[in-house]
Amino acid sequence: MREPTQTNSTEPTATGGDTNRRTFLTGAAIAGAAAAAGPALAQNRGQSSGSDAPMTAQAASFPEPPYPAQQQPWPGLAQRMNPRPDHGEEHYRGTGRLRGKRALITGGDSGIGRAAAIAFLKEGADVAIAYLPVEEPDARDVARIAEREGRRFAAFPGDLRDKAYTTSLPDRTIRELGGLDILVNNAAYQQWVPGLEQLSDEQFDQTMKTNLYAMFWLTKAALPHLRPGSSIINTSSEVAATAPEGLIDYSMTKAGILTFTKSMAKQLASRGIRVNAVAPGPIWTPLQVSGGQPTDQLPQFGSSTPIGRAGQPVELAPLYVALADPALSYSTGQVFGATGGDPQPGI
């Protein structure tokens, strides 16, 4: 892959014409190895070694509280976190479950969306990610993994509060990847405020636009392209039920995402399109170190769960893969928890 040379462009610039191996600048589609060779390459890697390594052995090595105190300006970068989140860069092993699929993931540069992106790539899918331009350094890390896996990859920097940008994403994904089978509505805005008096109209608006409007716009724009067997996965949260006092606006949206998931599942069942939600608990991601939690509580993040630590993004990747896999054909309108043992929101 050629490194992007600009950081703010939202339009890909083709620098080569070969359809099997094209390289683009920023906002680019990266067709890594030849399309024909790609799946075999990814598959071989997936089966090469260690697929019998139990998840529990890996989980035993995940960082435990207390975590180092830290803070970043929103939206934060995974690169700058200490310890660095585990998105499955090294440990996730694919088995070709998503070979031939094309996925669009919002917030795919970091955290849970990045873990889903990496797992999808390692399962043989081609992937497009959407993220904010300022997150380009994290997005480049995902592009490098796509190249290593020999998958097609497209990167679309932009602001999901911009309807024109958001509604353009399905078409752009199809242009770069040749189709769209999996939509992951994952991007979100979360800022902790101590009371309603501190919750500004601006924050309320940003939370609603990012978490609800963008999901609505993007799902609507994607629908004409989705075929039987397609899957929509929305990232909700346990806070849809627990409603922490400092996350009123955010929790409202996470409950709304569950309701949207259930309604859409009913609408789309007859079209063979499944719609499900994942409800994470406390996960070690940039969102939490850039205003999502009170800074003084971060060292103990996740310690109140039965598992007793924050989850790592890679621990959610198998859920996203399972929901994307058409083999999970009788599950729609469901919410799947990954909460470290906390109760998950009912549905």
Q: Which residues in this chain contact ligand NAD in the complex, by CB under 6 A?
A: 75-76, 107, 109-113, 131-132, 135, 159-161, 186-190, 210, 235, 237, 280, 282-283, 285-288
Q: By C-beta, is 316 or 335 nearer to Mg ion?
A: 316
- Work out what residue 345 binds among ligand NAD, Mg ion, none; the CB cut-off runs from 5 to 8 Å by kind: none
* Catalytic status, residue 250: yes
| Residue of 92, 250, 320, 330 marked active site | 250
Q: By C-beta, is 110 or 312 nearer to Mg ion?
A: 110
Least distance from Mg ion to the Cβ atom of residue 283, Å: 13
Q: By C-beta, is 31 or 187 nearer to ligand NAD?
A: 187
Q: Which amino acid is at 281?
A: G
What residues have CB less than 8 Å from 186, skipping those under 6 apart? 105, 106, 107, 108, 112, 113, 116, 233, 234, 235
CB contact at 8 A, 126 and 326: no
CB contact at 8 A, 153 and 12: no
Helix 136-149 and helix 37-48, axial crossing angle in degrees, nearest 10: 90
- Residues pairing with 278 in the sheet: 235, 336
Q: Which of 26, 43, 110, 276 binds Mg ion (CB under 5 A)?
A: 110
Does 211 bind Mg ion (CB under 5 A)? Our answer is no
Residue 167's H or E segment, with its range, is helix 163-177
- Work out what residue 282 binds among Mg ion, ligand NAD, none; the CB cut-off runs from 5 to 8 Å by kind: ligand NAD
Does 135 bind Mg ion (CB under 5 A)? Our answer is yes
- Token pair recorded at residue 94: 């694919």
Nearest to 309 by CA among 116, 85, 125, 54: 85
First to last CA, the chain: 43
- Work out what residue 181 binds among ligand NAD, Mg ion, none; the CB cut-off runs from 5 to 8 Å by kind: none
Least distance from ligand NAD to the Cβ atom of residue 225, Å: 21
Q: By C-beta, is 135 or 176 nearer to Mg ion?
A: 135
**Contact residues for Mg ion (CB under 5 A)?**
109-110, 135
- Catalytically active residues are 250
